[in-house]
Amino acid sequence: MKSTALETVEAALAAIQARDQELHAWQAVDADFARRQARALDAGPPRGLLHGIPVGVKDIFDTADLPTEYGSPIYKGHRPAADAACVAAARAAGAVILGKTVTTEFATMVPAATVHPKNPKHTPGGSSSGSAAAVAAGMVRFAFGTQTVGSIIRPAAYCGVVGYKPSFGTLSRSGMKMGCDTLDTAGVIARSVEDAALLVAGSAMRPDLLEIGDFKNPELGLCRSPNWRHMSPQGAAAFEAAAKRLADKGARLVDFELDFQELDAAASTILVYEMARALAYEITNHRERVSPMLLERVDSGAAMPYEQYAKAVAYATDCRRRLRDLTGDVDAILTPSATGEAPLGLGSTGNTAMNRLWTLLHGPCVTVPAGNGPGGLPLGVQLVGLSGSDAKTLAVARWVEHVVN
């Protein structure tokens, strides 16, 4: 017999109660608010694709019924007047907004309190650290995240779950605290590729994303990317082993060279330039409450000449055009999700080298679990597509998900 919305919510609340004092995945949970939503759903007809399913919301998205603090003491207790657009759409589709998951400061590189659900001495990644840990710990089926550099794909890979960064603009960013207009992308972290597609389909009002079909024996462009030098030896070996498993199961692998040598520098230029302007209010009025690490990045962006930024934007635009010519008949690009396992220590959220280029190229990225590394922590492989090819990329990712483990 199918569970009621209230029963599903109670199970989620019990899971949070059992582990969150250890993991610190949640910034705010209002159990009574969650139960009220569930009872209202149980009392009425089915609302939509997400009816009765609890959802975690990264605390970079506005919520009218829960505090929204953006990972910063500047906004402690802040209560927006309205939900972010994707949150409102999820609620309209029947989702239960369970609570706010922890984000790093303004969804940047400064670590937050969340720890890895399999080993608390390791980072869970960031900036969607709370969403990744909450899903990996079984507290929710899925949660919203955001990616400016690698903030969905990397933590999902570290924690052994699915991360889906849709094509740029698929999920509305209205009501999301912006840091970098060219890069910021709303997405999800989930237990499976199908769950990831479900949450985006419901909250982007894109039911076509559920029609991903069955994909067999895809042609994959094996891409080590210009940043391959950042891979740990263990991470590189694990990626090669995963690629071999896929080939053994019928995937056709072709070497794919991404010869965009200046794209990494362009991503960094765009990031710091736009972030300095996006955080102008906070830096002007609350400079002493911004972390030194973030201040250094913002100050460098504020001093950057416009011509340098404009050149980087033009280069990125040209790379997106060239990527369409390069992909040919490849169904998706296969590339590492991260440089290796989640690193030891909580002073960093990990290396973003395997994510930066793909985020700037604006296409869909999906990471699926690919076993554990030598340290016993999860690894992932990443499937990347051209902008707008989300359904196809999800279909390939689902095939890989079922085959690689």
Residue 120's contacts (CB-CB under 8 Å, 6 or more residues apart) are: 22, 23
Q: Catalytic: which of 72, 128, 131, 151? A: 151
Cα–Cα distance for residue pair 193/164, rounded to 1 Å: 8
Residue 180: C-alpha distances to residues 31, 149, 298 (Å):
33, 10, 11
Active site residue 127: yes
Q: How far apart are CA 185 and CA 353, in angstroms?
A: 17
Question: Among the options 58, 100, 118, 177, which is catalytic?
Answer: 58
d(CA 140, CA 55) in angstroms, rounded, equals 6
Q: How far apart are CA 63 and CA 84, in angstroms?
A: 6
Spatial contact of 123 and 151, defined as CB atoms under 8 Å apart: no
* Alpha carbons 111 and 164: distance in angstroms, whole number: 21
| Largest Cα–Cα separation, the chain | 62
CA neighbours closer than 13 Å in the CB half-sphere of residue 10: 6
194: left (phi over 0), alpha (psi -120 to 50) or beta: alpha
Q: What's the CA gap between 54 and 142, in Å, rounded?
A: 8
Spatial distance between the Cα atoms of 176 and 186, rounded to a whole number of angstroms: 9
Residue 389 known to be catalytic:
no
Clarify whether 300 is annotated catalytic: no
Distance (Å, whole) CA 193 – CA 163: 8
Catalytic residue among 72, 127, 167, 291: 127
Catalytic residues: 58, 127, 151
